[in-house]
Chains A and B, each alone.
Chain A
C-alpha cells in the first residue's frame, strides 16, 4: 500500500474505521501479531535472539577472564589505553540515546527527527568501529599483541572482534531503516521495526558496558 507523506514530514495513513470490516479482520497498518504467549511475536523473536546472544558473549567474556592473565606477555595493563577506550564507551552510550530518540520520533510520527536520529546513531556506531580499528592496529603494530600472540590476545580480539561485528551489522541495519524511511516513511503503526532495531542496538551497548568493566577496567585495576 502506497503511503503519503504530508508537508510536515508525517506519514499519512487512513484512520482506522472501526465500523468497516473488509472481511479479513485486519486494518491496513502493521497488525501486532500476538501469539499464544500474549506478546508481539516480532518483539518475542528479537528478545529470544538477544537471550542467545547473552550466552554467546557470556562464554567469550568467561574465556577472557580465564586466560587473560596466562601465558607470555604482554598482558592487559601493559597495552590498554583506558582514557581512549572510555571515549569509545561514551560514543556508544550516546548512540543509545540517539537510538531511543529515533524510536520516540517514529512513535510521534516525526519522520524528519526519525531520520536525523537514525543517521546520528549509525554515524556514532561508525565512529566506534573506527575507534576499535585504530585500537586494534595500535595493539598490533606498537604493542605487538595480536590474535595469535598469547592467550590474552586471542581472547581479547575474539571478544571485541565479535562485538565490533555486531556493531557493524547494527550500523547496516540502521542505514537500511533510514533509506526505507526516505523512500516510504515509517508510520507509528510500524514503529515496531524501529523498536526492534533499537533493542538490538541497546543490547550491543549493554555488552560494551560489561566488556568495558570486565575486560578493560578490572584487569587494569588488578594488575599493578
Chain B
C-alpha cells in the first residue's frame, strides 16, 4: 500500500470526524488577490480628494468601513474557517465582537464631538 494511501484513511477519518469541507488552495489564493485589490482600492480612494475630487471626502469613511468589513469577513470566514466550522464558534466570536464594539462606541460617545471635531 502506498504511503499516502496508508495515511489517507486516517486523514479522511479525521476530516469527516471534524465535519469540515476545506476549500482548495486555489480558493485561498483567489481570496488573497481580492484582499490585496481591496487594500489597493482603499489607498487609492484615500487620495482621490487630493486629486481634485474634494467632494468625495465625506464618502471616504463609509467606503473604508465597507471595504474593511469585506476584508474582515473574508479572512474570518475562509481563512479562519468560521464559514465551515461549528456555529458555536460563530456565536462566540460574534458575541465578543459585539461587546468590543459596544464598549468602543460607549467610550467614544463619552467624548462626543472629539472624534469629529
Contacting residue for A210 out of B31, B42, B68, CB 8 A = B68
How many A-B residue pairs have C-beta atoms within 8 angstroms? Tell me: 191
Binding site secondary structure of chain A? helix
CB of A58 within 8 A of chain B?
Answer: yes
In chain B, positions 29-56 with a C-beta closer than 8 Å to chain A are 29, 31-32, 35-36, 39-40, 42-43, 46, 49
Total count of chain B residues near the partner, CB < 8 A:
66
B114 and A209 within 8 A (CB) = no
Given the contacts A8-B3, A48-B92, A66 and B108 also touching, CB distance less than 8 Å: yes
Contacts of B31 in A (CB 8 A): 97
* A140-148, A160-168, A171-179, A214-222: which lies at the interface: A214-222
Docked CA distance A59–B3 (Å) = 50
Given the contacts A6-B3, A188-B14, A209-B68, A222 and B103 also touching, CB distance less than 8 Å: no
In chain B, positions 77-115 with a C-beta closer than 8 Å to chain A are 78-81, 85-86, 88-89, 92-93, 95-97, 99-101, 103-105, 107-108, 110-111, 114-115
> How close is A135's CB to chain B, nearest CB, in angstroms?
16
Contacts of A72 in B (CB 8 A): none
A104 and B43 within 8 A (CB) = no
CB of A20 within 8 A of chain B?
Answer: no
Binding site secondary structure of chain B? helix
B57 and A65 within 8 A (CB) = no
Contacting residue for B93 out of A16, A50, A213, A217, CB 8 A = A50
Residue of A nearest to B15 (CB): A107
Contacts of A82 in B (CB 8 A): 43, 46
A39 and B88 within 8 A (CB) = yes
CB of A83 within 8 A of chain B?
Answer: yes
> How close is B49's CB to chain A, nearest CB, in angstroms?
7
A66 and B114 within 8 A (CB) = yes
B88 and A13 within 8 A (CB) = no
B75 and A96 within 8 A (CB) = yes
Docked CA distance A50–B79 (Å) = 15
Contacts of A199 in B (CB 8 A): 80
Docked CA distance A199–B7 (Å) = 25
In chain B, positions 4-18 with a C-beta closer than 8 Å to chain A are 4, 6-11, 13-15, 17-18
List residues of chain B with CB under 8 Å of any chain A CB. 3-4, 6-11, 13-15, 17-18, 22, 24-25, 28-29, 31-32, 35-36, 39-40, 42-43, 46, 49, 57, 60-61, 64-65, 67-68, 71-72, 75-76, 78-81, 85-86, 88-89, 92-93, 95-97, 99-101, 103-105, 107-108, 110-111, 114-117
| Interchain Cβ contacts under 8 Å between A and B, 7 examples | A12-B3, A29-B10, A44-B88, A90-B39, A94-B32, A97-B29, A217-B60
